[in-house]
Amino acid sequence: MPNREDSIQLAIADLESGIFTSQRQAAAKYKIPRSTLASRLAGSSAARVGYQQ
């Protein structure tokens, strides 16, 4: 089973390729929060990446 970050990236790829037509469908398929997916699509980075010193 892919980790959460992998699932988010797969959901984004599926949305961009047209496999899913809605964020809700992609989020449900990969079992991730829709709000997280929407934030990533809007350009935010992963929390772990953003906090590195």
For residue 24, the domain's CATH number is 1.10.10
Instruction: List phi, psi (to 5°) of 39.
Output: -65, -45
Task: Output DSSP code: residue 9.
Answer: H
2: left (phi over 0), alpha (psi -120 to 50) or beta: beta
Rounded to whole angstroms, how far apart are CA atoms 10 and 13?
A: 5
User: Is residue 49 very low, low, confident or very high in pLDDT (cuts 50, 70, 90)?
Assistant: low
Where in the sequence is the domain holding 26, given as residue range(s)?
A: 4-51
Q: Does residue 8 contact residue 34 with C-beta atoms inside 8 Å?
A: no
Average pLDDT, the chain: 88
Q: How many structural domains are present in the chain?
A: 1
Query: What pLDDT score does 43 carry?
Result: 87
Query: What pLDDT score does 53 carry?
Result: 60
pTM over 0.85, yes/no: no
Residue 25 tokens read as: 């469908």
pLDDT tens string 14-33 = 999 999 999 999 999 999 99
